[in-house]
Chain A
């Protein structure tokens, strides 16, 4: 082979190599844009689903107490009922409608035992609900359409959980409140920085193995952590220092479990470990729209309260 021909062949080979590298590395579509085969989910209503779940929840034949007892005594069996996993990250898929809330392990100590004595006066007044909730009667935050207590994960009676890429959603039937829980690290998602303090706080989840650990902060200081039981128990008020760390797990396809630790340095002398709760899955696709309306008398009280607050703010500004 002449030198000239060798040079031409070398140049061509080089150009080929550059092109091959370009197509292999630079011009190939990013992995995220590749479409995976996908089978749409089938309706969960129907014989198959009912047969599978019937052992746990025979519909229409149980009272709430019976269902609670059965869920408490249920022994999770991940071989018979494998933990569903999401197609996008292989983590447990919490999606489903769940009921009822059953306590499978009580809290080590009662929450009441940890309240600071100096918080008594604040609690007597109803905490941040002073002037709004007349707790010595039958009035409770529920009547005011406040979201359910964060000590119960802000969960109502029947709930729907939805696992989605980067999020866990909690949809409440009853008050229709919802929680949108971003999961850090998934799809590069990060928690929002400046959210308004709220009843349900700002949640940030991360995975520890198959357990979803959710850190909830940024509460508005209004929630009551438990019900008032006058005259023996004052409202279990909270402060803006409230922090809750929740641990969510899915022992098998039939149930999920939930436990938490509550910190509130302004109200409690030490962190409080709550009950371990379990809920059983229901053979439904979705929870229903079910709203909370104030009665007219409470509505009038709300408007008076808002007017007083506005007047106070006006006086402070002057």
Chain B
């Protein structure tokens, strides 16, 4: 091969390469402009970034519409749990005493959720109740049994599976309900949704794109349910604010509190 031919081949490779890179870049810009989801930058320490204020629709169930898979849940209650629930009143919902609803119930209320991360931890807040969740994100084991303290929100530990934060929650106090007294998917529904202290929840939090977060949970409660119950995937949209509103519960605290919404 002559020197001249070699020069021409090298030149063609360089120019061709430049054209290819330029076209690829243009294609990426076009996909962003077309609304194709753009990847979200990770946090500065390399974890997927869930930080933000997120809000989904208020979900629930009536005989006309079930947006939270509660018809299935109702069918999963064991006979002994049903017998207990028949003797109770919807007024026994602990949230009516301003006890905080745990996730996944908190995800169906339609209140904003705020997530803030630092290395190894995620913190979850909602506008529904003045209570917070502290979630270890390094896959550490749960709090050792001798220190466990049953709570409404449970003890959370999490690990990253790709871009999904998988949160394992146990140590509930068994007082919370899985849905609210207004949720009655069938004409035979009691609006009572008991849990027990052996409840175990596995949640999956995933950032889909810059403006969208998805939440899904699987609830096991062998004392109450025959088999685990899966929630539908809840879509939460980013809110253009830096913080959620102050969370309060009682009716005199404002029209947007949980109790006021219930008309209580």
A residues with a Cβ closer than 8 A to B are: 5, 8-9, 11-12, 15-16, 18-19, 22, 26-27, 30, 32-33, 35-36, 38, 40-41, 43, 87-88, 95, 132, 145, 147, 160, 162-165, 167, 169, 171, 175-178, 180, 182, 189-192, 195-196, 198-200, 202, 286, 288-289, 291-294, 299, 302-303, 305-306, 309
Once the chains are docked, how many angstroms separate the CA of A43 from the CA of B141?
A: 11
Contact: A288 with B151, CB < 8 Å? yes
Residues of A within 8 A of B15 (CB): 15
Once the chains are docked, how many angstroms separate the CA of A163 from the CA of B140?
A: 20
Q: What distance in Å separates the Cβ of B71 from its nearest Cβ neighbour in chain A?
A: 31
Tell yes or no: B10 within 8 A of A by CB: yes
Contact: A180 with B18, CB < 8 Å? no
Q: What distance in Å separates the Cβ of B157 from its nearest Cβ neighbour in chain A?
A: 11
Tell yes or no: B99 within 8 A of A by CB: yes
Once the chains are docked, how many angstroms separate the CA of A182 from the CA of B114?
A: 12
Tell yes or no: B244 within 8 A of A by CB: yes
Q: What distance in Å separates the Cβ of A243 from its nearest Cβ neighbour in chain B?
A: 17
Interchain CB contact (< 8 A) of A12 among B7, B118, B250, B252: B7
Q: What distance in Å separates the Cβ of B199 from its nearest Cβ neighbour in chain A?
A: 15
Residues of B within 8 A of A177 (CB): 130
Once the chains are docked, how many angstroms separate the CA of A200 from the CA of B244?
A: 12
Once the chains are docked, how many angstroms separate the CA of A135 from the CA of B154?
A: 36
10 additional A-B residue pairs with CB within 8 Å, beyond A180-B125, A289-B149? A15-B18, A32-B44, A41-B119, A88-B45, A147-B246, A165-B43, A180-B116, A195-B241, A288-B151, A291-B100
Contact: A291 with B14, CB < 8 Å? no
Tell yes or no: B75 within 8 A of A by CB: no
Residues of A within 8 A of B51 (CB): 165
Once the chains are docked, how many angstroms separate the CA of A11 from the CA of B18?
A: 13
Residues of B within 8 A of A5 (CB): 4, 7
Query: Can you list 18 A-B pairs with a CB-CB distance of less than 8 A?
Result: A5-B4, A8-B7, A15-B15, A19-B17, A35-B42, A40-B119, A40-B138, A41-B138, A88-B45, A145-B250, A164-B117, A165-B51, A178-B132, A180-B125, A191-B242, A199-B246, A199-B248, A291-B152
- The main secondary structure of chain B at its interface with chain A is loop
Which chain A residue has the least Cβ–Cβ distance from B171?
A289
The proximity string for B residues 5-39 relative to A, scoring 1 for CB distances below 8 Å and 0 otherwise, is: 00110110011011001000100000000000000
B residues with a Cβ closer than 8 A to A are: 4, 7-8, 10-11, 14-15, 17-18, 21, 25, 41-46, 51, 97-100, 114, 116-121, 123, 125, 130-132, 134, 138, 140, 149, 151-153, 241-246, 248-252, 254
Contact: A12 with B14, CB < 8 Å? yes
Once the chains are docked, how many angstroms separate the CA of A47 from the CA of B98?
A: 39
Residues of B within 8 A of A291 (CB): 98-100, 131, 152
Top 7 nearest A-B pairs (CB, nearest first) are A198-B246, A35-B46, A289-B151, A306-B251, A164-B118, A306-B252, A38-B45
A171 and B44 in contact, given A8-B11, A291-B152 (Cβ under 8 angstroms): no
Interchain CB contact (< 8 A) of A302 among B114, B138, B251: B251
